[in-house]
Amino acid sequence: MKIQSLRGMPDLFPEDLERWHIFESKLANIFHSFDTHEIRTPLLESTELFSRSVGNSSDIVNKELYSFLDRNEESISLRPEGSASVIRAVIQKKQEQEKHKLWYQGPMFRYERPQKGRFRQFHQVGVEYLGFEEGIAEYELISMVLQINKLIGISDYTIKINHLGDRDAKELFCDSLVTFLKPHINELDEKDQARLKSNPLRVLDSKEKSTQELLKEGPKFQDFISDDSKIFLQNLVDAYSNQCDIQIDQSLVRGLDYYTGIVFETVSQNLGAQDALLGGGRYDNLSRQLGGKDMHAIGFAIGVERIIELLNIEKIKQPLKVGFIIAGEQIDKKTYKIADDLRSANNSIILDSFLSEGSLKSQLRRANKNNCSYAIIIGEEELKNDQVIWKDLSEGGGQELLTSKEVIDKYTNL
Ligand code: AMP
């Protein structure tokens, strides 16, 4: 019997990862321009970190957490998301009172039912701005979302946004929702009945049509948040409404318990049922919840598998590729040296070597198939004279004889 990978935990081969690398390099530039720096935290954490942050009543902790007892009988879990670990790390370093602009990336684990766009091991890139109160940070993160979508060529998307108020407003709304829904409990399906008991705000996320109809008559978040919060939300929407489709969605609460203030989600019209590309919001209470000092915090996380699905590869400039062809049998120190010199002269170009099997013609065919723009051909005669052939592979392109120094110059300035 052959051993299979675990369900919902796919392998990623070089042909899959090409898109990932483009995405990652674009993203690195954006983070750099926002002066946002990478943090890496462990994949395994104590289970308590997630029960205290994400919340015991959330689906993530209830049903989806990969938890184990380690050899010391301590309960540890594979991280289902990144924010809790980042906050834990900052508290542990006693840096709650400093300002941080951080990003992270890596695998997350949730025991969900796998389907298209939903995995048990998936990847997120997340951003956390710590130490910034409500204000410019919200604007900056929405700007970042817009830039990311633009850079990778996504245009059909909607940003849904809501303001959950502060913790008191959220609690008052929650109480009012429970009071409203209780007399109607028998009209709810089993799932929503369970949500009403464990995490009433999640009923707002219900996919049931009848529940959504019922909720139309129910309390509205807007009636519980302060005027300042309402104005802030409206200003934020107005600031971006001429650049993207951004809409207030009063039923947007997000699954995790720790959010207060602004929450947002981006959905794409081109993804099918699992249409959420990214989600985030403000969580000023999380540091306290985890035993740290007060710390303002806002962030978002992108689902990498989903955003990569939409990456418009045609719109993105591909790195230049040059075929390195050795004609004949003269694979020796000298030919390797030319390849080494070329790579050190300009490592932004892909030098496609290992083409040296078969006739010159078949190697050229392979260089064309691999999308090489040029080929450097080293023949026996040329090598003796310290020369190479430079061939333009575009239609009607010519070729010329260059010395090894000339070819390096040309390659450097491509
Ligand atoms: P969340 O932490 O649930 O708000 O998720 C943030 C983003 O991660 C979502 O918008 C999705 O793009 C992605 N995501 C969440 N769960 C999964 C999953 N099981 N498989 C793939 N992507 C996911």
Q: What is the 3-state secondary structure (H, E, C) of 3-55?
A: CCCCCCCCCCCHHHHHHHHHHHHHHHHHHHHCCCEECCCCCEEEHHHHHHHHH
- In this predicted structure, the answer to whether residue 356 has a pLDDT above a threshold of 90 is no
Ligand 1, atom 10, lies closest to the CA of 278
**CA 21 to CA 1: how far, in whole Å?**
34
Q: What is the pTM of this model?
A: 0.83
Tell me what pLDDT residue 331 has. Answer: 62
Average pLDDT, stretch 74-96? 97
Q: What percentage of the chain carries pLDDT values higher than 90? A: 63
Task: Report CA-CA distances (Å) from 23 to 58, 69, 116, 244, 309.
Answer: 31, 36, 20, 21, 11
Query: Which candidate, 161, 393, 201, places its Cα nearest to that of 282?
Result: 161
* 124 in contact with ligand 1, CB cutoff 6 A: yes
Q: Is the pLDDT of residue 197 over 60?
A: yes
* CB 277 less than 6 A from any atom of ligand 1: yes
**Cα-to-centroid distance, 248 and ligand 1 (Å):** 21
The 10 Å Cβ neighbour count of residue 332 is 10
Say if residue 151's pLDDT is above 90. Answer: no
The pLDDT, as a whole number, for residue 362 is 87
Q: Which residue type occupies 127?
A: V
Contact 110 CB / ligand 1 (< 6 Å): yes
Whether residue 56 has pLDDT greater than 80: no
Q: Which residue has the higher pLDDT, 206 or 297?
A: 297
For CATH 3.40.50.800, the residue range(s) in the chain are 319-412
Residue 105 pLDDT greater than 90, yes or no: yes
User: Quick one: average pLDDT of 87-112?
Assistant: 97
Helix residue spans in 159-294 (DSSP H):
167-181, 190-198, 209-216, 227-240, 286-289
At 115, list the tokens: 């389907």
Q: Would you say the CB of residue 19 lies under 6 angstroms from ligand 1?
A: no
| Per-residue confidence (pLDDT) for residue 336, from 0 to 100 | 80
Distance of CA 4 from the midpoint of ligand 1 (Å): 24
Take residue 16 and report the two structure tokens written for it. 């899959």
**pLDDT the model gives residue 157:** 93
* Residue 38 confidence class, pLDDT cut points 50, 70, 90: very high
| Confidence class for position 314, pLDDT limits 50, 70, 90 | low
Per-residue pLDDT, 109: 97
Q: In the chain, pLDDT over 70 holds for what percent of residues? A: 96
- Report the mean per-residue pLDDT for the chain: 90
Tokens found for residue 275: 């249409």
Residue 413 three-state SS: coil
* Ligand 1 atom nearest residue 277's Cα: 12
Ligand 1 and 166: CB distance under 6 A:
no
CA–CA distance, 219 with 180 (Å, rounded to integer): 8
308, amino acid identity: I
Those residues whose C-beta lies under 8 Å from the C-beta of residue 61, and which sit 6 or more positions away, are 50, 51, 54, 55, 80
Asked whether the beta carbons of 275 and 265 are under 8 A apart, the reply is no
Looking at mean pLDDT, say which of 35-39, 51-55, 376-380 comes out highest. Answer: 35-39
Pocket flag, ligand 1, residue 122 (CB < 6 Å): yes
Verify whether ligand 1 is closer than 6 Å to residue 278 (CB atom).
Answer: yes
Sequence-distant (≥ 6) Cβ neighbours of residue 369 within 8 angstroms? none
Which residues of the chain does CATH 3.30.930.10 include?
A: 14-165+225-314
The predicted pLDDT at position 40 comes to 98
Of 306, 307, 310, 311, the residue with max ligand 1 atoms within 8 A of its CB, to mutate for a pocket test, comes to 306
| pLDDT in the model for residue 222 | 86
Task: Check if 303 has its Cβ closer than 6 Å to any atom of ligand 1.
Answer: yes
Q: Which two tokens stand for residue 90?
A: 């900052």
Instruction: Name 4's Cβ contacts closer than 8 Å, sequence gap at least 6.
Output: none
Confidence of residue 327 (pLDDT cuts 50, 70, 90): confident
| Beta carbon of 82 within 6 Å of any ligand 1 atom | no
Centre of ligand 1 to C-alpha 303, Å, is 5
Smallest CA separation from ligand 1 atom 18, residue:
118
CATH assignment, 14-165+225-314 = 3.30.930.10
Would you say 335 and 387 are in contact if contact means Cβ atoms under 8 Å apart? Answer: no
- Mean pLDDT computed over 253-277: 86
Contact 314, 132 (CB under 8 A): no
pLDDT for 332 equals: 67
Work out the average pLDDT over 366-380: 91
Name which CATH class applies to 319-412.
alpha beta
